[in-house]
């Protein structure tokens, strides 16, 4: 990874037909759970990158993309290597809850947002879910 510039990443909190959200444990966040996502490639829009990452990591097609929160991770010790990310998070919907995981996904669960908060989440996902819960109330 480049130590000269922060990397732009995208991720999404996805709601399935059961009204539950998808969380995943990956090989990259040292035992914590989060949401699927990844780096934006040169020439991709943010939304194109998000759609590609979800297809690659969990085999889901996303709809109703909506910007959620912007976060920054600066050399977080929970990430498997030293990195600086600008994380652009979305809310989205999937018409399927059938997961086809790639090699990065260790486990996944479709849970209510409240249930998700009981998992060992990375900080960024916890903030995203809390924001989601707040938007449901307002």
Residue 97 inside a domain? The answer is yes
Residues in the chain: 138
Q: What is the pLDDT of residue 136?
A: 82
Full residue range of the structural domain in which residue 40 is found: 7-137
pLDDT confidence tier of residue 133, bands split at 50, 70 and 90: very high
Does the structure show a pLDDT above 90 at 76? Answer: yes
Burial of 65 (0-12, 13-18, 19+ CB in 10 A): middle
Split into its structural domains, the chain has a count of 1
Query: Which is higher by pLDDT, 137 or 114?
Result: 114
Domain harbouring 131, CATH code: 3.90.79.10
- Cα–Cα distance between 1 and 122 in angstroms, integer? 20
């Amino acid at each position: 990874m480049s130590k000269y510039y922060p990397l732009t990443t995208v991720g999404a909190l996805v709601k399935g037909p059961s009204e539950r959200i998808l969380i995943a444990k990956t090989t990259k966040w040292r035992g914590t759970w989060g949401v699927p996502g990844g780096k934006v490639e040169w020439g991709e829009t943010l939304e194109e990158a998000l759609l590609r990452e979800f297809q690659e990591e969990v085999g889901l097609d996303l709809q109703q993309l909506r910007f959620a929160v912007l976060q920054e991770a600066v050399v977080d010790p929970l990430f498997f290597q030293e990195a600086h990310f600008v994380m652009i998070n979305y809310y989205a919907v999937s018409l399927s809850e059938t997961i086809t995981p790639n090699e990065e996904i260790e486990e996944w669960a479709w849970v209510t947002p409240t249930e998700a908060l009981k998992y060992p989440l990375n900080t960024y996902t916890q903030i995203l879910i809390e924001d989601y819960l707040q938007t449901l109330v307002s």
